[in-house]
A and B are shown apart, each in its own frame.
Chain A
Amino acid sequence: MAKMNMLQAINNALDLAMAKDDGVVCFGEDVGHFGGVFRATSKLQEKYGKARCFNTPLTEQGIAGFANGMAAQGMKPVAEIQFADYIFPAFDQIVNETAKFRYRSGNEFNVGGLVFRTPYGGGIAGGHYHSQSPEAYFAHTPGLKIVVPRDPYQAKGLLLASIACPDPVIFFEPKKLYRASVGEVPEEYYELPIGKAEVLQQGKDVTVLAWGAQMEIVQKAVEMAAEQGVSCEVIDLRSILPWDADTVAASVKKTGRLVINHEAPLTGGFAGEIAATIQKMCFLHLESPIERVCGLDTPYPLALEKEYVADHLKTFEAIMRSVNF
């Protein structure tokens, strides 16, 4: 075990993946010698050479298309989109190409092994072009897998699993936690399961569900609720696609209540999908309406970030509304 922040854990995962399989190649804007604007690919060019870790021109659609081609040939490209806010020029390549490669060819070709790494989310005074959480756009696309880690240990294990996955993965990294989140991480290779949620805390009154950077926020809310005598069951969804409905439903059947928190705006956010599924699976067990604590339906603000975010106080209020319904 070693103490690592999330960036170090990601860097360590990439290092191990590149050492293990010479088909793993990392690229993106500023990813090469500089090691990425957040330094996630630091020293990888030095260690594995320019052919396997390199800067690309400033073209997200080009990065995504190039990655699709490499993966179709059988390599494992790990392509970085510098900010999730800038993934949209690549939307066609990801949604129409990456996601459909295996299906449309009848399995003649596939892009398994392809991972798009991209920092997402707010809390860094980044305004609306450095703070977005675009997971829901991609969750609407069969063929993709979507993963969001909450801490360094999860980031390393889930990233290694994503690179090993036979399906293409979008790996959303909570950039607010890059340096802020520090924890013990095994130095050796390990994978964590994609598509499996994790129950972080057992409870009996209400289930509180979130992912990524929001896990810290809901944890605070859950502690506030505990002081009021409310016992929360806390779940990290970890994978948005496929998402682990069974684990969430089992918890809600026990608690009878669900509060979902995410950073992205409310309307069309992934919480809506979860709420619809869980009300069907748990209808007769529900004691109160499913609560969603999300961003407002506005672009991500700058000066009024604190007011906008789905913070611990809003989450605490939702928990109390749910238990007092």
Chain B
Amino acid sequence: MTNPNNATITTVHRAEFTASDALKIPTLRILQDDGSLYDGATAPELDKDTALKMYDTMVFIRVLDERMLAAQRQGRISFYMQCLGEEATTVGSAAALSDQDMIMAQYREQGALRYRGFTLEQFMNQLFSNEKDLGKGRQMPVHYGSNAINYMTISSPLGTQIPQASGYAYAQKLRGLDALTLCYFGEGAASEGDFHAGLNMAAVHKAPVLFFCRNNGYAISTPANEQFVGDGIACRAVGYGMKAIRVDGADILAVYQATKMARDYALKHNEPVLLESMAYRLGAHSSSDDPSGYRSKEEEALWRKNDPIARFKAWLLKQGWLDEAADNAKTEQLRADILDALKVAEKVAKPGIEHLISDVYAEPIPALQQQLDELKAHIRKYPDAYPITAGRLD
């Protein structure tokens, strides 16, 4: 018998539904708040250097977020997005990858970016959209990207990176590379059509992608229970014929272990895997958002205790890998370094006028060159109105 419907046919003779909650996805937890492991849990294999790099990255991002949100409030940058409460999610998953793996992120994954080696100066240049920004000052703050470290430039439209990750990973497979693509997105973005399109295509075409859902409870103001009804996002993987794993997103050991396992599986079998990391977006959606309009201080206070950095720090102290006094001194130094870098970046000039038309195409088309020439003539006539470029048109 052929199977034209591509489905199992288990026959019953009385009508019955399959329950909508038939599938219950467990959540992996390894590390407790006090730094000890849960009974039966095993810490992933993690050497001291890697563990400290993960910790330093989390601290770096926390301090950077504090400082740059303040800089936005001072009017020094136009916009910012912090990842408070989700540091373990992105750092733990990025640490489980190879540097050759492509990361396609949504926008709140600065932890992964920093872990890959994006420098403080590169962060600042992007945030100030100055002429040293790799993105040439074209995108709002936090839309980072770097070819050199395999971190795809962020795009604001939600979910568009999901089917792209499937295509990118398919190409990695065709090229025979020992690398895959990790794709971050939020539980809100999982409502976009691109989520369905991307997951289905990756499953059908056997593309090695790790679809990494950061379920942080909110899409701007919309809580997850107004976003979907099923059991989180992980249960959907099963519908696509894909393996899934759910982890506590504030538990960096769990995130690391799950991602490592998923990576090994995806590469070995050329299959996508869906990971769902359960955390809480402790900060506002962005500097333009005010959560007091949609959630209580009490709710936030409760989650504030669930600090991923404190939990990991407790474990590192237990390992005897962290010296608290030295760590505090290092953090103070980091604050000073960040402020210094900020002061440097905000004084760097904006991109020159030629970057208004460069990169639209590989080479400017004739109409664009003509438009630029006309614009330059106009600016020469009214230099005071265009202070950024008037003094350097040639």
Chain A residues packing against B (C-beta within 8 Å): 25, 51-52, 54, 56-57, 59, 61-75, 77, 89, 92-93, 96-97, 100, 102-110, 112, 142-143, 145, 166-167, 195, 242, 245-246
- B143 surroundings in chain A (CB, below 8 A): 104
Say yes or no: A66-B201 contact (C-beta < 8 A), given A105-B145, A195-B365: yes
B153 at the interface (CB under 8 A from A): yes
B174 and A75 contact, CB distance less than 8 A = yes
CB closest residue in chain B, given A108: B147
Question: How far in angstroms is the closest Cβ of chain B from A280?
Answer: 12
A106 and B136 contact, CB distance less than 8 A = yes
CB closest residue in chain B, given A100: B155
Q: How does the 8 Å CB contact mask read for B301-315 relative to A, with 1 for contact and 0 for none?
A: 000000000000000
A-B contacts, CB under 8 A, total: 158
Of B167, B193, B358, which contacts A73 at CB under 8 A? Answer: B167
B167 and A67 contact, CB distance less than 8 A = yes
B145-176 with Cβ < 8 A to chain A: 145-147, 152-153, 155, 157, 160, 162-172, 174-175
- A75 surroundings in chain B (CB, below 8 A): 171, 174-175
- A69 surroundings in chain B (CB, below 8 A): 104, 163-171, 181
B197 and A70 contact, CB distance less than 8 A = no
State the CA gap A100–B164 with chains docked (Å): 14
- 16 more A-B residue pairs beyond the given contacts A62-B194, A75-B171, A195-B366, with a C-beta to C-beta distance below 8 A: A56-B205, A61-B163, A65-B163, A69-B164, A70-B167, A72-B168, A96-B155, A104-B139, A104-B153, A105-B134, A105-B135, A106-B136, A166-B362, A167-B362, A242-B365, A242-B367
CB closest residue in chain B, given A107: B359
B257 at the interface (CB under 8 A from A): no
B interface, size bucket? 35 or more
Question: How far in angstroms is the closest Cβ of chain B from A179?
Answer: 31
B138 at the interface (CB under 8 A from A): yes
B147 and A89 contact, CB distance less than 8 A = no
Question: How far in angstroms is the closest Cβ of chain A from B203?
Answer: 9
CB closest residue in chain B, given A73: B171
B243-293 with Cβ < 8 A to chain A: none
- A97 surroundings in chain B (CB, below 8 A): 155, 157, 160, 164
Question: How far in angstroms is the closest Cβ of chain B from A96?
Answer: 5
A68 and B164 contact, CB distance less than 8 A = yes
State the CA gap A51–B174 with chains docked (Å): 7
A62 and B197 contact, CB distance less than 8 A = yes
Q: Which 3 pairs of residues, A with B, have the shortest CB-CB distance? A: A65-B163, A69-B167, A62-B197
Of B170, B193, B200, B205, which contacts A89 at CB under 8 A? Answer: B193
B360 at the interface (CB under 8 A from A): yes
B163 and A106 contact, CB distance less than 8 A = no
State the CA gap A61–B362 with chains docked (Å): 25
Question: How far in angstroms is the closest Cβ of chain A from B392?
Answer: 19
- A68 surroundings in chain B (CB, below 8 A): 163-164, 167
B198 at the interface (CB under 8 A from A): yes
Q: List 16 A-B contacts (CB under 8 A).
A: A57-B200, A61-B194, A62-B197, A63-B201, A65-B162, A65-B163, A65-B164, A65-B167, A69-B164, A70-B171, A72-B164, A73-B168, A106-B134, A107-B358, A167-B362, A242-B367
B181-224 with Cβ < 8 A to chain A: 181, 193-194, 196-198, 200-201, 204-205
- B198 surroundings in chain A (CB, below 8 A): 62, 65-66
Question: How far in angstroms is the closest Cβ of chain B from A97?
Answer: 5
**Residue picked from A25, A52, A62, A103, most chain B C-beta under 10 Å:** A62
B340-394 with Cβ < 8 A to chain A: 358-363, 365-368
Question: How far in angstroms is the closest Cβ of chain A from B116?
Answer: 13
- B365 surroundings in chain A (CB, below 8 A): 195, 242
CB closest residue in chain A, given B181: A69
**Residue picked from A25, A89, A107, A143, most chain B C-beta under 10 Å:** A107
**Residue picked from B152, B193, B361, most chain A C-beta under 10 Å:** B361
A25 and B359 contact, CB distance less than 8 A = no
State the CA gap A57–B175 with chains docked (Å): 22
B166 and A93 contact, CB distance less than 8 A = no
- B102 surroundings in chain A (CB, below 8 A): 73
- B367 surroundings in chain A (CB, below 8 A): 242, 245
State the CA gap A135–B175 with chains docked (Å): 34
B153 and A108 contact, CB distance less than 8 A = yes
- B147 surroundings in chain A (CB, below 8 A): 105, 108-109
State the CA gap A246–B172 with chains docked (Å): 43
